[in-house]
Chain A
Amino acid sequence: MKPELPWHSRFDLLGITFLIFLLGALGALPSIEGSGRDLDYWGNLSRFTSQFFPPDWSILNRTLEGLLETVQIALVSTLLSIVISIVLSVGAARTIAPVWLLWPTRMILNVIRTIPSLLWALLAVVIVGSNPLAGVIALTFYSVGYLAKFFSETFEAADTDAQQALRSLGASPLQAFQFGLWPNARPIIWSHCLWMLEYNVRSASIIGYVGAGGIGLHLKLYAESADSWNKFSLVLLFILLIVTVLDFTGEKIRKSIRDKLEGQKI
């Protein structure tokens, strides 16, 4: 006979969290309301979107230049944030850092994550002026908040067996980290980096809106001048293209890492 579980046993932490989420979302519905005016939603939408077509190809060269700058901002800021994050993440990993270092580091990361990328961009523009450097600074800070958290979680979850084995075979703690823990964490860490690069290309295309370099500035100009929505749509088209290419290659690389890691199971 199957033993009956008490009814409340299915309410574990995960179940309760989901329930709270669901209640919260449904409870929020009544407060989400429109302007109350009687607007022709569909008419507005179709009139507006029809201005996007056909895209204006005359600005192709300028757009490509802007895109190149966007990708450059993303590349540099991702590289910088990886270097900073690896250092910070060691301080934020429960399994590695002592408590006096753990909480301050985590607090700093929380603060960094609280500030949205557009605000970082504004801050950077105020400090270094309106140029791509501002974009690099903004996205570096923004990415560190996420990457360092991901990295530290990866270190915490990584298999520590090899590290212990190397310690017992005579390696120093730092050597055991480099050759025991790092190889196990590295594939996951690279895949986080790849994700961050994709994300930064997307972010880099919007922060230009506040003057931090890249294609965002073009978007702002076209959005603010009359009858330029067809130029706006060409820019969007190219952002879509580049993000899709990144997404596709990123997925390929991540899959090959996964396959390699899973290896031959016996």
Chain B
Amino acid sequence: MSTALLTTQELGITINDRPILKSLNLSFNPGTFVAITGPSGSGKTTLLRTLAGELEPVEGKVVNYLDCPTRLAMIFQDLKLGDGATALTNVLGGSLGRHSFLSTLFRFPAQEQEKAHRLLAKFGLSGKSNQWTSTLSRGEKQRVAACRTLLTQPQLLLADEPVSSLDPALAEEILTNLSNSILKQNGCLVCALHNDEQVTKFADLVLRLDPSDPNGWMLEDLKPKEVG
């Protein structure tokens, strides 16, 4: 078995002192699609932020085995895009970690621009790349945010409901794109999802946040997948 990218050890988290889950021992392994499901307010975002290192765990710990911190990236539920910048510039923001301030001051390196254009095309946004992000629909913005995070070339991608505003067909296409980009490079994709069909179709492992469970979570291994 390959080494894990990230593990949790006896992890416990709370929201406003309300316990959400405890004693979570989980490894995030290369080539795995982990889905996190649960009703709204069950703590999916808090868990993802804890995994990303943004929040300190209340109990236990999160151990990060990635060789470089920028190999972990997040697609935020509230997107956090620059409204007055074009879709292309927003996507290129994902490449900033690889370049110095001066080398991106006036324009981005050509190879990054090319990568950004390719990503936008893959997510069906070629025609929108020079539009201000504020003029895009919610679903389009969501895809811009996904492209930006993919351009950081993460090994571990934490996606907080990345397809919540998309119609089912497009959502599946985007999830296929995300999992192809990450899993093929032996990365791990952790996705908060609402739709059970998407979960069974894509996920290898499901972490269900369930308030009725004593520990607050249940793990379900979906391998081997029924649908290819």
Contact = CB atoms under 8 A, between A and B. Distances in A.
B137 A166 contact: no
A70 B14 CA distance: 65
Given A260-B134, A262-B134, A266-B138, A171 B97 contact: yes
A264 B70 CA distance: 32
Nearest to B145: A165
A193 to B, nearest CB: 14
Contacts of B104: 175, 178-179
A264 B137 contact: yes
A264 B105 CA distance: 30
B83 A169 contact: no
Contacts of A180: 82, 93
B93 A166 contact: yes
Kindly name the residue among A171, A186, A187 whose own CB sees the greatest number of chain B CB atoms within 10 A.
A171
B69 to A, nearest CB: 8
Interface stretch (B2-10, B25-33, B71-79): B71-79
Given A187-B84, A263-B135, A264-B135, A170 B98 contact: yes
Nearest to B105: A178
Contact of B76 (A165, A174, A266): A165
Nearest to B151: A169
B84 A186 contact: yes
Contacts of A183: 82-85, 89
Given A168-B54, A175-B96, A179-B89, A162 B82 contact: yes
B132 A170 contact: no
Interface string B77-114: 01011111100011011101110110011000000000
Contact of A170 (B52, B81, B96, B101): B96
A169 B149 contact: yes
- Chain B interface size, under 10 / 10 to 19 / 20 to 34 / 35 or more: 35 or more
A169 B70 contact: yes
A164 interface: yes
Interface of B: 52, 54, 69-70, 73-74, 76, 78, 80-85, 89-90, 92-94, 96-98, 100-101, 104-105, 132, 134-138, 148-149, 152, 165
25 contacts: A159-B83, A161-B80, A162-B81, A162-B85, A162-B93, A165-B93, A166-B96, A168-B54, A169-B97, A174-B101, A175-B101, A176-B96, A179-B82, A179-B90, A180-B82, A183-B85, A184-B84, A185-B84, A186-B84, A260-B132, A261-B83, A261-B134, A264-B135, A264-B136, A266-B137
Please give me the 6 A-B residue pairs with the lowest Cβ-Cβ distance, nearest first.
Answer: A170-B97, A183-B85, A165-B80, A171-B96, A183-B82, A263-B134
Given A162-B85, A169-B73, A260-B135, 18 more contacts: A165-B93, A168-B52, A169-B70, A169-B94, A169-B97, A170-B70, A170-B97, A171-B93, A171-B96, A175-B96, A179-B85, A179-B96, A179-B104, A183-B84, A183-B85, A183-B89, A184-B84, A264-B136
